Chains A and B, each alone.
Chain A
Amino acid sequence: MDILDILFSAAFWAATVRIASPLIFATLGELLCERAGVLNLGIEGIMVAGAFAGWIAVWAGLPLWGGVAVAFLVGAMLGGVHSVLSVPFGLSQHVVGIGMTLLATSLTFYMYRVILPEVSSPPKITAFQPLDIPVLSDIPFFGAALFSQTALTYLAFLLAAVMAYVLYRTPLGLAVRAAGERPEAVATQGLSVTAIRMGAVIVGSGLMAIGGAFLTLSAFDSFFFEMVNGRGWICIALVVFGAWRPGKAVLGALLFAAFDAFQIRLQQTPMGAFLPYQFFLMMPYILSILALIVMSRRADVPAALMVPFNKGER
């Protein structure tokens, strides 16, 4: 198999869309937080918690969509804690975020051990199955690549469209963006910057958790400790890469996923025997850092990102 064979196989593009899906959920969640002015470094831990919560709920008997809802709620609750500390109290978003990641990760691992004390390998669930979209999935090549995914993948792309619409076409979206750019202008309008920012962090964290749950409910059918493995940090890079815009963030996630799918397949070529596998596994992280460097010159960052707002203080 050489490089062209990889690029012209429908399986490669299907894998790209699949790998991109959890990144899209979590990147959109982070984007929402940052657009409102809050950097959410809890993302990595919230994804771990979401992956576990959704999976354990389904294992306990809930339907798959119930698992997605549970993941969202758990993420939103963790986001609630983050938002109380970082918004009204205005504590360092770096410290709160890292603390939330440590807390959410350790809570998850603790609950896993409490609920499943003696298991050597985690139980499996019946995950989301691919859903062929009528007519579209019959298109040669593209059908197999794009329209034979699970329902959760379609939801990810739908969510990106909804997020773009809400952010740019509704008064609510305007208020969210303004809270991240010029909070005093929002306060002048009689709106509560605190409420807007807290709401954005809570909803955004719920979306991050769904991104985590995608791993256990759709990509795989079980939960492992090292499952999220830095995907949260990669999503923070993707928000920067996407210049804080939903559409560009989705493109970034797809580009990133294509690269990831490509490196997995490249490992099976003669080059894979030449280069140790660790270097292939490094590529996503290196790519994320490169993306940050390339995009660093652009000034799209929300002006009030990481700046606490204390009403009446000038």
Chain B
Amino acid sequence: MRLEPISAPTPARRIVPPVLALVATLVVTSVLVMIAGRAPGDVLRQIVIGAVGSKFALLETLNRTTPLIFTGLAVAVAFRAKLWNIGAEAQLYAGAVITVILGTGAMSAPSFVMLPVLAVAAFIAGALILLGPVILKTRLGVDEVVTTLLFNFIFLLFVSFLLEGPLKDPMGMGWPKSARMLPEGRLPRIFDGVRLHWGFGVALIAALVIWVMDAKSTLGFEMRAVGQNRDAARFAGIPVTSVMIKTAVISGGLAALAGFSEVSGLKGSLTLDLSPGFGYTGIVVAMLALLHPLGVVVAAFFVAAIFVGADSMSRAIGVPSYIADIMLASALLFMVLAILLTKFRVRRD
């Protein structure tokens, strides 16, 4: 077989493959649910109810959406420039570590000073974490996929060391967790009495800013040009290395804001289970959003809903909640294939 570009895709061509991808994901999920001896309809219904079926469920989903918007944006920005940042997990923890160091007593300031300082410090920490692999790539040609992946393991061990050593809460009954954040360092709730913090608001603002930057600024254009064809971009006079480094700063910084928002907004302290793989899930979010900054918001909500819904379904019906990860991984693979089929026709030789 071979692939033939379609010059003018019909509306059906553009809609049918993505719909089929969703159907295929549901079929895979259903088969696995049946292997577990349960009825697919019940499971899917419980997932939807658990995700958005009540005010409590919806707030839970929105809280889970927040870090995924940040990591999803981080991945989308990087992947657009073909910078394969798989290290959002480490960058997230870097942001969380800085937030905890500054927010538990290293500085004292009123809230309106403290919060911006924490956010900027977290952003810088995440940016620095990604800068290493990117400089190795631009200077020496070391593949950033492997270095960013391996660095996740290194940094998590480092956080584990911090939580058992310098950052350990003396009042923590021996548990590896940090001290509580000062009240000035906590992100307030958006509405009184509603369990949703301003991290969500910051995430939406970040998505808007990235969207404007992407669509309107020179840097956004240069990043896309570098992503489409690095050699052509260099030939056209775009400073490729400098664009890659700026991309890395933005991407690493965004991922670190997820850590800031989780510590300052939701948890109030740092533990080693702060992120159940938000950095990796950000890849799925970004791909499902087709790397579009506003799409990331929608995709992050969708992904968060599946996770929160599957947790609740698992408690109610007993199908392992790993079904959520399977749904997302298969949705990712089916979707990249579907997007290809909206642009290419398969011809037999």
Q: A residues within 8 Å of B by Cβ?
A: 41, 81, 85, 88-92, 94-96, 98-100, 102-103, 105-107, 109-110, 113-114, 117, 194, 229-230, 233-234, 236-237, 240, 276, 278-279, 281-282, 285-286, 288-289, 292-293, 296-297, 310-313
Contact = CB atoms under 8 A, between A and B. Distances in A.
Contacts of A282: 153-154, 157-158
Contact of B154 (A81, A98, A286): A286
Contact of B349 (A236, A286, A311): A311
B2 to A, nearest CB: 5
Nearest to A110: B322
Interface residues of B, number: 46
Given A41-B145, A102-B325, A288 B150 contact: yes
Contacts of B157: 278-279, 281-282
B330 interface: yes
B106 to A, nearest CB: 22
B259 to A, nearest CB: 19
- CB-CB nearest 7 A-B residue pairs: A106-B325, A113-B320, A103-B329, A102-B329, A278-B161, A110-B322, A296-B140
Interface stretch (B7-15, B97-105, B234-242, B280-288): B280-288
B196 to A, nearest CB: 28
Interface in B284-307: 284, 287
B116 interface: no
Main secondary structure of the interface of B (DSSP, over half): helix
B91 to A, nearest CB: 16
Nearest to B280: A102
Interface in B74-102: 84, 86
Given A85-B336, A114-B36, A292-B146, A106 B322 contact: yes
A103 B153 CA distance: 20
A98 B332 CA distance: 10
B337 A102 contact: no
A102 B340 contact: no
A261 to B, nearest CB: 19
Given A94-B145, A236-B146, A114 B320 contact: yes
Contacts of A81: 333
Contacts of A285: 150-151, 153-154
B1 interface: yes
A109 B320 contact: yes
A288 B148 CA distance: 12
Contacts of B111: none
Contacts of B2: 310-313
A314 B157 CA distance: 48
A110 B40 CA distance: 15
B136 interface: yes
Given A102-B328, A103-B333, A293 B322 contact: no
Given A88-B1, A90-B3, A103 B326 contact: yes
B144 to A, nearest CB: 10
A106 B149 contact: no
A110 B323 contact: yes
A110 B140 CA distance: 40
Contacts of A91: 336-337, 340
A89 B3 contact: yes
Contact of A276 (B136, B142, B161): B161
A288 B151 CA distance: 10
Contacts of A279: 157, 161
B332 A233 contact: no
Contacts of B136: 292-293, 296
Nearest to A104: B329
A142 B84 CA distance: 44
A279 B150 CA distance: 14
Contact of B164 (A102, A113, A276): A276
B140 A85 contact: no
Contacts of B147: 289, 292
A237 B343 CA distance: 35
A103 to B, nearest CB: 4
A95 to B, nearest CB: 6
B78 to A, nearest CB: 11
A113 B280 CA distance: 22
A100 B141 contact: no
B42 interface: no
Q: Which of A81, A282, A286: most chain B Cβ within 10 A?
A: A282
A292 B84 contact: no
B162 to A, nearest CB: 9
Interface in B114-158: 136, 140-143, 145-147, 149-151, 153-154, 157-158
Contacts of A117: 318
Contacts of A276: 161, 164-165
A94 B146 contact: no
B149 A278 contact: no
Contacts of B36: 114
Given A103-B326, A110-B32, A312-B2, A230 B153 contact: yes
Contacts of A286: 154
A106 B146 contact: no
A114 B36 CA distance: 6
B35 interface: yes
